[in-house]
Chain A
Amino acid sequence: MATSPRTQPDSSSRRSGEQAATPERPGVLFSTMSGIENEPLYTPEDATIDYEGDLGDPGEFPFTRGVYPSMYRGRLWTMRQFAGFGTAEETNARFRYLLEHGQTGLSTAFDMPTLMGYDSDHPRSLGEVGREGVAVDSLDDMRTLFSGIPLGEVSTSMTINSPAAILLAFYLAVGEEQGVARAALRGTVQTDILKEYIAQKEWIFPPEPSMRLVTDMVEFCAHEMPLMHPISISGYHIREAGSTAAQELAFTLADGFTYVEWALERGLDVDAFAPRLSFFFNAHLDFFEEIAKYRAARRIWARRMRDRYGAKDPRSLLMRFHTQTAGVSLTAQQPEVNLIRTAIEALAAVLGGTQSLHTNSFDEALALPTEHAVRLALRTQQVIAHETGAVNTADPLGGSYYLEHLTDELERQAEEYFDRIEQLGGVVEAIKQNFFQSEIAEASFRYQAEVEAGQRVVVGVNRYQQADEQPVELLRVDPALEAKQIERVQAVRARRDSQAVEAALARLRDDAAHEGRNLMHPIIDAARVETTMGEMCDALRETWGVWREVPVF
């Protein structure tokens, strides 16, 4: 690229080329993973670019090209590996290991009982404690989880939804014990209950009281924890459940608008909370489609926030997001190949302008990752950041005819979904009608059919299989940890002031039964007297009931 003057693409001659075209390979799908048909070539005719209106420089409306003017020249994305298993002690050791190896933020995976609001000694927790994340039953576990980690200096992400308010209260209390004011605590709590009903399916209460609790957190954080992101509006799980890229985009943004509407209904000013809403997307293998998805997401969000919700603060218009590479793209066959898949997905996230990134480990189709596998996953990000040059310039693929076409197409498909959701009465109503669940199941089935017909190739699975696969070393969670955790929670119950706990739970029940009382306050007070997470969830279950999905397939 020495002295080149700007060359004019000559589209007409390319399309009606004089050479006879080689026939296309039969039986191959030339569509994106999400079913968008690709033309053999894109030219200026396919992407009529209104630069100011549709793209804008990075850091300028509508932020298609990125949320910050200098993007990664100013600051790299946060390398944030999701971790958690066993008891708080094991996970604390993994956190310290990751920080020592150059990770810049923490991300906590909780186990299934914690996600579902059961203490470790609940009968439903049997066999599940510490298996897919860390068990946190009480303030004491949270204290151990962050032992030796100064909470004033790290930002912490917590993947917790139904009981999010309780875990935030534990975190706040541990911070205060360390001498860090709540207003100085930084991080993200996932809290995205809508995508639980839609895709991830770790729910406790029915949608309306759940949304009230989310809105309580949004309100509380707006007033008292200004550096905390109270919701991470997540498409990740929607995609993992089998959606297309367009569905991930549309359903996630529709969820985002719903949280905004509830907070506005509460009487909050849009600019008081919108700057702290954050997003979380998947990075799947269809490289260009993924980059287009992030760009479309930023543009849609900025436009709606300004034009529909009247946001004035420029920060309210910025869609900032975390990305995780696609767990579903990993194969149990020839697992080392997953390193390559993950690297490509991570590059898409970076070229799409992510603010933080988790790269999956190559062994995750088999088990939770080993330290060795996690280190390689982190190194993948470091190679992209420091060796590829991908960080030198913002939105380096912007202006590509193909990419701009895909960005427009994804936006168009998302807008169609917004209309359908509105016709159904909004996101909560659409959940009750199983709309999202059915759309995702249909897309997932279609993809599976394409793979099984050999139209989609999965290397090592339906082509290039290897007969003699070497087993890889797997992380085994020690089953004895469950008993240890049960002892821990029972010891907490034995030593605490049970009258104070009873009083705290009575207040929580009473406040939950009354609209207009922010539940963060009784939850923080209950946390401080060592009420367990499961006890608080039980109190809310008694008041609100539980959610049951009508199973469809």
Chain B
Amino acid sequence: MTGAPSSPTLPEQAPSASAPLDSSSAPRRVVVAKVGLDGHDRGAKIIARVLRDAGIEVIYTGLHQTPEQVVEAVIQEDADAVGISILSGAHMTLIPRVLELLREEGAEDALVVAGGTIPDDDAEQLRDLGVAGVFGPGTTTTEIVAFVRGNLTP
């Protein structure tokens, strides 16, 4: 949809020779999901795009997804990771529910990361529950790409 020839690119995101991704021939898949009722999709779209530009296959769910829909997408797409974007304040209800459903479906190996306006103490609780990374406002895309790459073991 995007990707016009004149599109800007973010710095240093082309897969480099040392990136773990290159050691696996199959492209890695990440589901980028907007869970909950909020319509703030600016961040999710940017993340989807930089991950794609980094050579990762990205499935963007679109807005207003339930935890059930997100987990279904992870399983159907056989995704290696799911990035959950939420700015509705419902993160402590909906993200734990995603984790629970992933376990129920036997998909707990999928890396779960979250982003949005998530206060520090909530972020800590989410990490305890199994979210690998929680990214707040101001995080660079470089940081997120590096985190996802570094945590997707071939």
Q: List residues of A whose CB falls within 8 A of some B CB.
A: 112-113, 115-116, 118, 124-128, 131-132, 196, 200-202, 240-242, 328, 331-333, 365-368, 434, 438, 441-442, 444-446, 448-450, 452-453, 458, 461-462, 471, 474, 477, 479, 548-553
Contact = CB atoms under 8 A, between A and B. Distances in A.
Nearest to A243: B42
B48 interface: yes
23 contacts: A112-B36, A127-B94, A131-B90, A132-B89, A201-B40, A201-B64, A241-B40, A333-B138, A366-B119, A442-B4, A445-B8, A449-B8, A449-B9, A452-B10, A452-B11, A452-B142, A453-B10, A479-B92, A551-B61, A553-B1, A553-B49, A553-B52, A553-B60
A428 to B, nearest CB: 19
Contacts of B44: 553
A367 B137 CA distance: 11
B62 A549 contact: yes
A242 B37 contact: no
Contact of A127 (B63, B64, B92): B92
Q: Give the bracket for the number of chain B residues in contact with chain A.
A: 35 or more
B7 interface: yes
A548 B93 CA distance: 24
Given A128-B90, A549-B63, 14 more contacts: A124-B37, A126-B90, A126-B93, A127-B92, A131-B89, A200-B39, A331-B138, A368-B89, A434-B1, A438-B1, A442-B2, A445-B45, A449-B9, A450-B8
A367 B119 contact: yes
B139 to A, nearest CB: 9
Contact of A365 (B1, B37, B137): B137
Interface in B74-113: 88-90, 92-94
B41 to A, nearest CB: 6
Contact of A128 (B37, B45, B61, B138): B37
B93 A444 contact: no
A474 B46 CA distance: 27
Given A124-B66, A441-B45, A445-B49, A461 B138 contact: yes
Contacts of A125: 37
Where chain A touches its partner, the secondary structure class is: loop
4 shortest A-B CB distances, which residue pairs?
Answer: A127-B93, A201-B39, A551-B62, A131-B89
Central interface residue in B1, B36, B141, by most chain A CB within 10 Å: B1
A54 B94 CA distance: 53
B37 A115 contact: yes
A112 B120 contact: no
A367 B116 CA distance: 11
A269 B41 CA distance: 38
Interface string B118-145: 0110000000000000001110111000
Central interface residue in A115, A125, A131, A365, by most chain B CB within 10 Å: A131
Contact of A442 (B7, B37, B61, B142): B7
B38 interface: yes
Nearest to B61: A551
Contacts of A124: 37, 66
A238 B101 CA distance: 34
A471 to B, nearest CB: 7
Contacts of A242: 42
A452 B141 contact: yes
Given A116-B64, A126-B93, A127-B93, A445 B142 contact: no
B88 A112 contact: yes
Nearest to A444: B42
A553 B41 CA distance: 9
B147 to A, nearest CB: 15
Nearest to B53: A445
B29 to A, nearest CB: 15
Contacts of A118: 37
